[in-house]
Amino acid sequence: MTEIFFVGLGLIGGSLASNIKDAYPQMTISAYDSDPKQLERAQSIDIIDKPIYDFAEGVAQADIIIFATPVQTTVAYLTMLSTLQTKPGLIVTDTGSTKSTIQAYEAHLLQHDIHLIGGHPMAGSHKSGVLNAKKHLFENAYYILVHDLAENATAHTRIASLLESTRAKFIKMTADEHDYIVGVVSHVPHLIASSLVSLNAHEASQIPLIQTLAAGGFRDITRIASSSPEMWRDISLENKTHILTIMHQFQSKLSDIISILEQENKMELYDFFADNKAYRDALPIREQGALTSTYDLYVDIPDKTGSISQVTDILSSHNISIRNLKILELREDIYGALRVSFKTAADRERGQAALNDFDTYIL
């Protein structure tokens, strides 16, 4: 019987464990976590078959190990693996958001008949912890699988086959390709968002009204700056080389637009906005990318009693769940007085159709 050993049972590890246990009931799902309470919770909701309280014991019994821990924690475990008893042909994968640090161990582990396939599921949630695990969390999300050595091709195929039940969209690439791409689409945007917030906070210390007016669109475009400081400190250092290269490119882009403004070049300024609008508008709407998506509708409702309840009644009558409702006071560049947040892109589309059918103002 195949035994899948999970190390780390947060949202990602728990969701993968739940999915695999449901899809492959003949497999044994074991798990180890530095917090024993996570194991108790996981067992209470039936997403693991047996808790493991000794890491070496779990490794010895495993056919496949899935590390769902922070990258530096995973590195510490990988360092230990070659010193422990393992089954022949052990396959190891992870879920970290940088890959070069992990894949640096690929050749070393291969010498010990351990096959390392890096993994990065590009899915998440605003909630954390194993009790919020969802077996459908990865559906339609991109899932990157990485190996740099040809000898691990068979292990790559086996991991991809195991994870087919997630219904994710798998992409194969090298560790260096992965880290550069996520640097562009995820890591640098987080740094830029945090820098914008820092600028806002500095100016607001002199002009308090800035903080008040930042409650609208500014808050939306800097949403990712609310992510975990510990996690983004580690990611930034792990992918430092690529991030610095991309940040220098961004610095050059800023210099270009500063020059255009200084010269008051209307044509170039128009082209700057038009070209970037065209590219942005062409981005896939329904795809899940490297950044966690939000699924919002902006509803232009009149300021009168019952307007909000009309919207919620319509959605409820169509069995459409919503995550949040927010009345917007500052709405520059945002059309609509009410922001309705949905759990999925499909719910947002159904919500838009339902509200349009009832002649509610949807934008």
Q: For the residues 234-259, what does the mean pLDDT come to?
A: 96
Q: How far apart are CA 153 and CA 110, in angstroms?
A: 12
CATH number for 51: 3.40.50.720
Cβ-based burial of 224 (10 A; exposed 0-12, middle 13-18, buried ≥19):
middle
What is the predicted pLDDT for the residue at 111?
96
Any domain includes 157: yes
Are residues 97 and 194 located together in one domain of the fold? no
260 or 314: which leads in pLDDT = 260
Are residues 259 and 318 located together in one domain of the fold? no
**Which candidate, 301, 323, 317, places its Cα nearest to that of 353?**
317
Are residues 167 and 46 located together in one domain of the fold? yes
Q: How far is CA 190 from CA 51, 76, 236, in A?
A: 36, 26, 9
pLDDT band at 330; cut points 50, 70, 90: very low
Any domain includes 210: yes
- Per DSSP, the three-state class of 65 is strand
Are residues 68 and 29 located together in one domain of the fold? yes
120-124, 215-219, 248-252: segment of lowest average pLDDT: 215-219
What is the predicted pLDDT for the residue at 320?
85
Which domain range does residue 248 map to? 178-281
CATH number for 215: 1.10.3660.10
Any domain includes 289: no
Tell me the pLDDT tens digit for each residue of 150-206. Answer: 999 999 999 999 999 999 999 999 999 999 999 999 999 999 999 999 999 999 999
Any domain includes 288: no
Are residues 238 and 220 located together in one domain of the fold? yes
pLDDT band at 331; cut points 50, 70, 90: very low
Domain C-terminal end among 215, 246, 281: 281
Domain C-terminal end among 173, 188, 218: 173
Domain C-terminal end among 259, 281, 303: 281
Are residues 126 and 159 located together in one domain of the fold? yes
Tell me the pLDDT tens digit for each residue of 266-314. Answer: 999 999 999 999 999 898 765 566 555 566 777 766 656 777 788 888 8
Give the total number of structural domains in the chain.
Answer: 3
108-117, 124-133, 210-219: segment of lowest average pLDDT: 124-133
What is the predicted pLDDT for the residue at 325?
77
Are residues 27 and 126 located together in one domain of the fold? yes
Q: For the residues 324-353, what does the mean pLDDT come to?
A: 66
The structure tokens listed for 11 are: 């949202």
Are residues 242 and 318 located together in one domain of the fold? no
What is the predicted pLDDT for the residue at 226?
86
**Mean pLDDT of the chain, nearest integer:** 87
Q: How far apart are CA 353 and CA 315, in angstroms?
A: 10
